[in-house]
């Protein structure tokens, strides 16, 4: 990345142009990061990305792309082996783009092949400029947390004004903050969603802080106080939009909560606990009569992992 970062479409390049390889992209100033999917840093922002089928969570809809950030992947197998973070420079750079309004050049790999390390064998096509409309953290299909970026096609190369989507809270945002400082503060606030709501506390009290999946009551004090966590079945926030109501909440221990959030534990329509990796029955979910879990939330949770092992149908029995 010895070349300086430059936003926008390089001179002499137009949308739809084809490039043979990363060296060709580098020579034409289309992508500075040879061998990397993201070109940029947290301090400068990101000027280009390459989509080469490296992450199964990528969702390309043409003028709208849901792009998986960088990090957490084993270079030999190509699989995720750890959570991604926003501290990784490419991911942090894309957050910077969202705040500052910088455009991103999108390059598409063609004829993606390979079972482990997927590569573009048909060269690369320049797709044009996109803006970073939004970002969030969410468990991916491989069970680890990924950085998710919503990219939207820009109609004109000179249309680089920031157009971030509205966020739900402005708490902690001061009038004296710069736009970038305010965006960072909004992001932090949006990540700190209130889990200890009245509905969450009601569920934990209802089950006496005892896990509905494993019956563990985690006592944390000499006087017998216990700790549990409220797990939303259809997740709150983007992109899932689950409601904060008792019909959508479980009382779980931290271990079961982590497994449930990553799809390693799931629930069938008959409210049985299922091993999300093998599809095997674990046990019936502990449930009181006044806790009326809605099957629609259970199905939405399962749908997030439906193509992991091709076995989601057995959970509906």
Q: Are 70 and 132 in contact (CB under 8 A)?
A: no
Q: What is the tally of structural domains in the chain?
A: 2
- Model confidence at 236, pLDDT cuts 50, 70, 90, reads confident
Q: How many residues does the chain have?
A: 317
- Whether residue 52 lies inside any domain: the answer is yes
Answer with the one of 161, 180, 212 that is the final residue of a domain: 161
Output the CA angle 213-279-137, nearest 5 degrees: 70
Q: Tell me: pLDDT of 315 over 80.
A: no
Mean pLDDT of 3-14: 92
Answer with the one of 161, 187, 222 that is the final residue of a domain: 161
Same domain, 207 and 114: no
Q: Tell me: pLDDT of 14 over 60.
A: yes
- Whether residue 49 lies inside any domain: the answer is yes
- Distance between CA atoms of residues 107 and 19, nearest Å: 10
Which residues span the domain enclosing 88? 18-161
- Model confidence at 142, pLDDT cuts 50, 70, 90, reads confident
Mean pLDDT estimate for the chain: 81
**Closest alpha carbon to 261 in 292, 234, 227, 238:** 234
Question: What confidence tens digit (pLDDT) does each residue in 238-249 have?
Answer: 677 888 889 999
For the domain that residue 73 is a member of, what is the CATH number? 2.30.280.10
- Distance between CA atoms of residues 66 and 57, nearest Å: 8
- Distance between CA atoms of residues 13 and 267, nearest Å: 51
How many of the other CB atoms lie within 10 Å of CB of 305? Answer: 22
- Whether residue 118 lies inside any domain: the answer is yes
Same domain, 211 and 150: no
Mean pLDDT of 139-151: 88
Mean pLDDT of 161-186: 46
- Whether residue 302 lies inside any domain: the answer is yes
Question: What pLDDT, on the 0 to 100 scale, is given for residue 188?
Answer: 44
How many of the other CB atoms lie within 10 Å of CB of 264? Answer: 17
Question: What pLDDT, on the 0 to 100 scale, is given for residue 181?
Answer: 53
Query: Would you list the DSSP string of 290-304?
Result: T----HHHHHHHHHT
- Distance between CA atoms of residues 100 and 5, nearest Å: 15
- Whether residue 12 lies inside any domain: the answer is no
Q: Tell me: pLDDT of 286 over 90.
A: yes
Mean pLDDT of 259-276: 93
- Whether residue 111 lies inside any domain: the answer is yes
pTM check: above 0.85: no
User: CA torsion, points 239, 241, 247, 251, in degrees to nearest 10?
Assistant: 50
- Distance between CA atoms of residues 22 and 294, nearest Å: 50
Question: What confidence tens digit (pLDDT) does each residue in 28-50 have?
Answer: 999 998 778 899 888 889 999 99
Question: What confidence tens digit (pLDDT) does each residue in 61-116 have?
Answer: 899 999 999 888 887 777 888 899 888 889 989 988 887 888 999 999 888 776 65
């Amino acid at each position: 990345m010895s070349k300086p970062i430059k936003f926008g479409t390089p001179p002499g390049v137009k949308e739809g142009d084809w490039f043979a390889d990363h060296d060709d992209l580098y020579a034409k100033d289309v992508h500075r990061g040879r061998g990397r999917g993201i070109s940029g840093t947290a301090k400068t922002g990101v000027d280009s990305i390459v989509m080469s089928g490296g992450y199964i969570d990528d969702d390309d809809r043409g003028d709208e792309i849901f792009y998986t950030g960088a990090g957490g992947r084993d270079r030999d197998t190509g699989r995720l082996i750890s959570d991604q973070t926003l501290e990784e420079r490419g991911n942090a750079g894309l957050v910077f783009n969202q705040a500052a309004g910088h455009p991103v050049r999108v390059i598409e790999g063609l004829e993606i092949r390979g079972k482990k390390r997927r590569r573009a064998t048909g060269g690369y096509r320049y797709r044009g400029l996109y803006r970073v409309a939004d970002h969030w953290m969410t468990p991916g299909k491989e069970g680890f947390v990924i950085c998710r970026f919503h990219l939207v096609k820009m109609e004109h190369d000179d249309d680089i004004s920031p157009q971030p989507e509205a966020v739900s809270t402005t708490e902690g945002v001061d009038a004296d903050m710069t736009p970038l400082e305010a965006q960072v503060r909004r992001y932090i606030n949006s990540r700190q969603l209130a889990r200890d709501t009245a509905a969450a506390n009601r569920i934990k009290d209802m089950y006496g802080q005892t896990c509905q999946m494993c019956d563990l009551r985690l006592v944390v004090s000499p006087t017998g106080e216990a700790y549990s966590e409220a797990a939303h079945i259809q997740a709150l926030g983007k992109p899932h939009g689950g409601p904060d109501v008792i019909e959508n909440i479980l009382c779980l221990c931290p271990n079961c909560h982590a497994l449930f959030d990553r799809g390693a534990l799931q629930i069938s329509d008959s409210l049985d606990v299922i091993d999300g990796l093998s599809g095997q029955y674990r046990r019936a979910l502990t449930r009181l009569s006044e806790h009326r879990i809605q099957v629609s939330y259970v199905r939405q949770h399962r749908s997030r992992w439906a193509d992991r092992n091709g076995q989601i149908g057995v959970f509906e029995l």
